[in-house]
Amino acid sequence: MDDRRVRPQPRARSRTPSRMGSAGIRRIAARRSGAADLYHRLLTIPWPGFFAAIAVAYVLFNITFGLLFLMQPGAIANAQRGSFADAFFFSVQTMATIGYGDMHPATFYANLMVSVEVLLGMTGLALATGLMFARFSRPTARVIFTRRAVIAPHNGVPTLMFRAANQRRNQILEAQINVAMLRNEVSAEGTMMRRFYDLALARSRTPMFSLTWTVMHEINENSPFHGCTPQSLEAADSEIVITLIGIDETFAQTIHARHSYGAEDIAWNHRFADILSQLEDGTRVIDYRRFDDVEVIAE
C-alpha cells in the first residue's frame, strides 16, 4: 500500500479556518464599536502589533508632556533653554519616577505638570501591565486537525472521518466536539439561503482527550450527506465546520478550537494511515509524521 499513500507537504505552524473567519468579510454600513472595543482589540491583535501600539503610545505620551514643559521657559532646572530633547527625556524620567537629579521642576507650573504626568503614567503602566498579564494568561488550545477529511466504509457503512490531536503533553477534560454541515439551498420561493445541519457523531465527547481522536459520522438515510457526490457538494459550496471545547487540566479553564473543511478538502474512498503502535515493552507510540497521511482504498 506504500505506493497508494498520499503524503502532504509539511504542516504549517498554524491553521486558521479561512471560511468561517470574519477577517475576509466586508461589512457595509456596520456600526463601529470604536474605543468601546479597544480592550478586545488589544487582546486579540498579534504580539508585534501589541508592542508597536504600546511603543507608539509611550512615545506620544512623552512628546506631549515634553511640549507642555517647553511652554514655560525655565520650567526645568539644569535643562538647556528651548531644548526639546531635554524636555522629552525629563518627561521619560518623570513618567518612570526615575529621578536622576540632574533635572528637576523649577516652577509651580512644572511641578503641576509633573504631578499630572506621574498620575497618568502610573495609570498607563497599570493598564499595560494588566493587558500583558491578560494576554499571557489567556488559555489557548493546541489542537490540530488533519488537513483533509475522508469518506470510507466503516462496518459496511460509508462514514465521514477526520482526526484531531492534542499537541500539549496534558489532557483536555470533558472534551466535546460538534460538527455541522453548511451548504447553499434554494427555498420554494426561490430564495438562496445558507443552511446548517448538525451531524450525528459516533462519539461526540470524551472524558479525557490526550492523544488523538478520530471523529466519525455515518452517512445513512438521515445524514445530510446521503446521496451527495463530490460535484454536488462543490456546487452547493458545502462546508464542514468543527468546534471543540474542553477544560485544560493545567489551567482548569475552558479552551476551544475550531476548524473547517471545504468540499475540496474531502478525500472520497480514502482512509487514514495508522499512526498508533506499541513497542515490545508495552509503550504506546504515536507517529505524528503520518498524522495527515491518507491511503486509497482498493476497489
| Same topology between domain 34-137 and domain 140-296 | no
- β-partners of residue 181 are 197, 240
User: What whole-number percentage of the chain has pLDDT above 90?
Assistant: 56
Return the pLDDT at 34: 58
The C-alpha atoms of residue 150 and residue 94 are separated, in whole angstroms, by 63
Provide the pLDDT confidence category of residue 170 given band limits of 50, 70 and 90. confident
pTM over 0.75, yes/no: no
Q: What is the pLDDT of residue 197?
A: 93
CATH among 2.60.40.1400, 3.40.50.1580, 3.20.20.140, 3.30.479.30 for 140-296: 2.60.40.1400
**How high is the pLDDT of residue 14?**
38
* CA atoms of 239 and 237, how far apart (whole Å): 7
- pLDDT tens for residues 85-108? 999 999 999 998 887 888 999 999
Q: Which three cell numbers stand for residue 134?
A: 491578560
Residue 288 has pLDDT above 90, yes or no: no
User: Residue 179, by phi and psi: left (phi above 0), alpha (psi -120 to 50) or beta?
Assistant: beta
- Reduce the DSSP state of residue 119 to 3 states and report it: helix
Bridging pattern class, strands 172-186 and 205-209: antiparallel
Give 279's pLDDT tier (boundaries 50, 70, 90).
Answer: confident
Question: For residue range 108-142, what is the model confidence (pLDDT) as tens digits?
Answer: 999 999 999 999 999 999 999 999 998 888 888 88
* Model confidence band, residue 31 (pLDDT cutoffs 50, 70, 90): low
Confidence of residue 249 (pLDDT cuts 50, 70, 90): confident
**DSSP string over 30-94:** PPP-GGGGHHHHHHHS-HHHHHHHHHHHHHHHHHHHHHHHHTSTT-EETSPTT-HHHHHHHHHHH
The highest-level CATH class for domain 34-137 is: mainly alpha
Residue 184 bridge partners (DSSP): 194
pLDDT of residue 190: 82
Domain residue ranges in the chain: 34-137, 140-296
Closest C-alpha among 152, 99, 146 to residue 265: 146
Q: Which of 60-74, 221-235, 284-298 has the lowest mean pLDDT?
A: 284-298
- Grade residue 242 by pLDDT with cuts at 50, 70 and 90: very high
Q: State the maximum Cα–Cα separation within the chain, in Å, rounded to a whole number.
A: 91
Are 285 and 157 in contact, with CB atoms under 8 Å apart?
no
